[in-house]
Chain A
Amino acid sequence: MTSSPSTIPVLDLGGLLLVSIQGELPDESAIALQEDVTTAVANTGSRGLIIDISTLDMVDSFLARVLAEVAASSLLLAARTVLVGMRPAVAITLVELGLTLPGMDTARTVTEAAASFGVTIERTGRDAP
């Protein structure tokens, strides 16, 4: 299968993979992303994948399916997927569509998602305790 390279980078944060989807995602890019992520999980042997969708205003049924498939195939490679930062409107729409993404874990922020993998991202700066 030939596909245009995904424009979305898959970041490796010390064993955790981080994907931040920003802006609208055309269907081809979504499929390319799916390939990139699965390859990255296989190559790094990572145990965790964090997908950040906090900037998305809309998630259609196709993207929801792609995300579910990414999670399912990552799980085959022993990586758990955590979806992060879904907006209220997106959540309502997905539930109305019956897409509750049962195969994925969710978290509010990347920090919390990392914490669920036992990785503590220390807070630095003004809000530091």
Chain B
Amino acid sequence: MTDGATDPAAAGSEAVADLLRRRGEQIAQRWADLPFFQTVFTVTRDEAVEAGHAVVDSLSAVAESGRVDDLEAVGFQPIREQLVAMTASRASSGLSTAQVDREVGALREAALELLEADTSRLGAEEVGEARVQLLTLFATLRVLVVDTMLQENQEIVLRQRQQLLEMATPVIKLWDRLVAVPLIGMLDSARSQVVMENLLEAIVEHKATIAILDITGVSTVDSLVAHHLMKTVASARLMGAECVISGIRPAIAQTIVQLGLDLGPVTTRASLADALEWALERRERKELPTRGNP
């Protein structure tokens, strides 16, 4: 785009920018009645018109810069946040990404009609070029909307994953100097790391000498899960606390044996109740050491 005046594409986008500037109010008014704006701004129509205006202004800025097919165009920046809010609102009312995309696609009709009505000011060739530019611009807008929605979704997934990590690993103080961790669901590397850290912190905090790892709620135990459990047990032992693994269902016991997993010197019990009994007995013995018995 070295010579803007003679380049037909540049002339076309200039014409689009001009159209959007002059007819901005009209377009915004029409948009306010379309579902994409109408359903988001339900309080007053003026609000919808104002939002439409912001989008038109942004589009015209992009057209002026000649980067109608560029998602990163500076002109799009001001409306990104607004689009996030609008698409979130549409998505929360149960629309799929494709449906929102279709609603955004409907926006271009208003602008196209106004362009056709404007032909008196432009030559046929110029109108054709302007049409192409306008269509490209609206296609970019659609991609932008879809992109915002996907990014938003991804952030939600990340946030929820973090919440799940924090939520699913409570350490419970069962008795004086006795803590328990009920493990629930899948145990992957990230979660077992969090479990380990939480448990070790709890051992320090509650001065625990015995910790019960209850795997009643763990859906599957494979070699990786067993490895994580062993690591947790080993680090608790290094800190001076004993670990017992409880809640081993018959099916899981069979899996462990069939996989040939070696739980080594780890104490195991069938149920949490059994583990508690073992722990209390063990704790008593630790508290009342017999004198002169090294």
Q: B-contacting residues of A (Cβ < 8 Å)? A: 47-48, 80, 83-88, 90-92, 94-96, 100-101, 106-109, 112-113, 115-120
For the complex, give the distance between the alpha carbons of A120 and B286 in Å.
11
If A108-B240, A119-B291 are given as contacts, then 17 extra A-B residue pairs at C-beta distance below 8 Å, sorted by A number, are A80-B294, A83-B240, A84-B240, A86-B238, A87-B204, A88-B235, A88-B239, A91-B200, A91-B238, A92-B196, A94-B235, A95-B234, A95-B235, A108-B203, A116-B286, A117-B289, A119-B289
Is residue B197 contacting chain A, with contact meaning CB distance below 8 A? yes
For the complex, give the distance between the alpha carbons of A113 and B292 in Å.
14
For the complex, give the distance between the alpha carbons of A118 and B290 in Å.
6
Chain A hits for B290, CB < 8 A: 118
Q: Report if A120-B203 is in contact (Cβ < 8 Å); known contacts: A91-B239, A106-B239.
A: no
Chain B hits for A119, CB < 8 A: 289, 291
Interface string of B272-294 (1 = CB under 8 A from A): 00000000000000110111111
A-B complex: 4 closest residue pairs judged by Cβ atoms: A88-B200, A91-B235, A108-B240, A107-B240
User: Which chain A residue has the least Cβ–Cβ distance from B293?
Assistant: A118
A20 vs chain B, min Cβ distance (A): 15
- The winner among A91, A109, A113 for most chain B CB atoms within 10 A is A91
A80 vs chain B, min Cβ distance (A): 7
User: In the complex the two chains form, is A108's CB within 8 Å of B291's CB?
Assistant: no
User: Which chain A residue has the least Cβ–Cβ distance from B201?
Assistant: A88
Chain B hits for A100, CB < 8 A: 234, 237-238
Return 30 A-B CB contacts under 8 Å, by A number: A48-B294, A80-B294, A83-B240, A85-B239, A86-B238, A87-B204, A87-B239, A88-B197, A88-B239, A91-B235, A92-B196, A92-B200, A92-B235, A94-B235, A94-B238, A95-B235, A95-B238, A100-B237, A106-B238, A106-B239, A106-B240, A108-B208, A112-B286, A115-B287, A115-B289, A116-B286, A117-B294, A118-B289, A119-B291, A120-B291
For the complex, give the distance between the alpha carbons of A1 and B199 in Å.
44
Q: A-contacting residues of B (Cβ < 8 Å)? A: 196-197, 200-201, 203-204, 207-209, 231, 234-241, 286-287, 289-294
User: In the complex the two chains form, is A86's CB within 8 Å of B286's CB?
Assistant: no
User: In the complex the two chains form, is B294's CB within 8 Å of A112's CB?
Assistant: no
For the complex, give the distance between the alpha carbons of A107 and B207 in Å.
11
User: In the complex the two chains form, is A108's CB within 8 Å of B239's CB?
Assistant: yes
Chain B hits for A80, CB < 8 A: 294
For the complex, give the distance between the alpha carbons of A21 and B109 in Å.
78
User: In the complex the two chains form, is A108's CB within 8 Å of B292's CB?
Assistant: no
User: In the complex the two chains form, is A88's CB within 8 Å of B203's CB?
Assistant: yes
A78 vs chain B, min Cβ distance (A): 9
Chain A hits for B207, CB < 8 A: 108-109
Chain A hits for B201, CB < 8 A: 88
A27 vs chain B, min Cβ distance (A): 22
- The winner among A87, A88, A108 for most chain B CB atoms within 10 A is A88
For the complex, give the distance between the alpha carbons of A112 and B210 in Å.
13
For the complex, give the distance between the alpha carbons of A80 and B294 in Å.
9
Return the contact of B209 from the options A92, A94, A108, A120 (Cβ within 8 A).
A108
Return the contact of A47 from the options B234, B236, B289, B294 (Cβ within 8 A).
B294
Chain A hits for B236, CB < 8 A: 91
For the complex, give the distance between the alpha carbons of A18 and B135 in Å.
82
User: Which chain B residue has the least Cβ–Cβ distance from A106?
Assistant: B240
User: Which chain B residue has the least Cβ–Cβ distance from A114?
Assistant: B289
For the complex, give the distance between the alpha carbons of A112 and B240 in Å.
9
For the complex, give the distance between the alpha carbons of A91 and B236 in Å.
7
Return the contact of A106 from the options B197, B200, B237 (Cβ within 8 A).
B237
For the complex, give the distance between the alpha carbons of A84 and B237 in Å.
11
B93 vs chain A, min Cβ distance (A): 46
For the complex, give the distance between the alpha carbons of A76 and B162 in Å.
50
User: In the complex the two chains form, is A95's CB within 8 Å of B231's CB?
Assistant: yes
Chain B hits for A92, CB < 8 A: 196-197, 200, 235
